[in-house]
Amino acid sequence: MSLLAAHGIFDHRDGTFGHTASSRLLRSDHPMTMRPFLQMMGLPIIWGSITELGHAVRTGRPSLEVLEPQGIWAHLQNHPSEGEIFGRAMTAKAGAEGAAVVDAFDFRPYRTIADIGGGRGHLLRAVLEAAPDTQGILFDLPEVIDSLDVEHPRMAATAGDFFKDTLPTADAYVLMEVLHDWPDEECVAILAAIRRAAHADSTLLVIEGVLPEDHDDPRAATLDLIMLTVTGGRERTASQLRALLEQAGFRLDRVTETASPMRIVEARPV
């Protein structure tokens, strides 16, 4: 506790410890709780990947493969208890960041919105609550879709693999924290799959933590390192995202800030 207090996580005075704004985020009942995310970061497969950073630097490959040659997604599928911790972390993160995204962007003009790689649909449900006349399509892997436990009258769930299967046609596509999981080549493949499914007037919304061009954001730089070691992906600047979009047949129109670290990168087909 003394160590945590020295770092400002807890308050320490008159021989007693007390909460701070930071420590309250560790409570499971806090609306912006970081508890599941920190539990995820403590998983041996995650922490071990970071300690093997040298492998990623030498090879350009995720250092996680030293511990798990099949990769993070296969590992989580084969270790359900760790997969559950990971899922809770993503749910908590999506809840806080999704609210900020919905507050920052007007989704009401779109009749259909497809959330590609949307997990359990937490962002899409928030979008549909804010856009009462919009229909939603949740697209993710079969094992994710099969785990859904909450239905929505305006949300259809479609199982598939965005590297192999045809994506649904929609007025708007959402990719929230998908591209940062992948190297550039795979990102272009994902974007190209959306471009093939989109019509000429569709909108693509890439929702990610966008690095500043001068790379001076410590939080983003830390996450960039984590993505490199765990998935082989990376955080990107707006200009780097623009290059990926252009390779896949999109043009970047604008970047909208939110009250969270997420930015909304808006693009359209060319």
Residue 245's CB is within 10 A of a number of other CB atoms, namely 24
Q: What does the block give as tokens for 34?
A: 């970081």
Higher pLDDT, 244 or 218: 244
List the single range of 184-188, 209-213, 254-258 with lowest mean pLDDT: 209-213
Name the band, by pLDDT with cuts 50, 70 and 90, for residue 2: very high
**pLDDT for position 60:** 86
3-state class of 27 per DSSP? coil
**pLDDT for position 119:** 86
**pLDDT for position 150:** 66
Scan for tokens 């960041």, then name that residue.
Answer: 97
pLDDT in tens, 153-187: 999 999 999 999 999 999 999 999 999 999 999 99
List the single range of 47-61, 100-114, 192-206 with lowest mean pLDDT: 47-61
Classify domain 96-269 at the CATH class level. alpha beta
**pLDDT for position 106:** 97
Task: Report the candidate in 128, 124, 126 with the shortest Cα–Cα distance to residue 140.
Answer: 124
Calculate the average pLDDT of the chain.
92
Measured distance CA(117)–CA(139) in Å, rounded:
6
* Arithmetic mean of pLDDT, 45-69: 92
Higher pLDDT, 244 or 122: 244
Higher pLDDT, 30 or 203: 203
Measured distance CA(152)–CA(125) in Å, rounded:
7
Measured distance CA(11)–CA(32) in Å, rounded:
20
**pLDDT for position 109:** 97
Q: What residues are labeled active site? A: 180
Sequence spans of domains, the chain: 1-30, 96-269
pLDDT in tens, 76-107: 889 989 988 988 888 777 777 888 999 999 99
Task: Give Cα separations from 150 to 120, 146, 155 (angstroms).
Answer: 9, 11, 10
**pLDDT for position 28:** 87
The string of DSSP codes covering 91-160 is: HHHHHHHHHHHHHHS--TT-SEEEEET-TTSHHHHHHHHH-TT-EEEEEE-HHHHTT-----TTEEEEE-
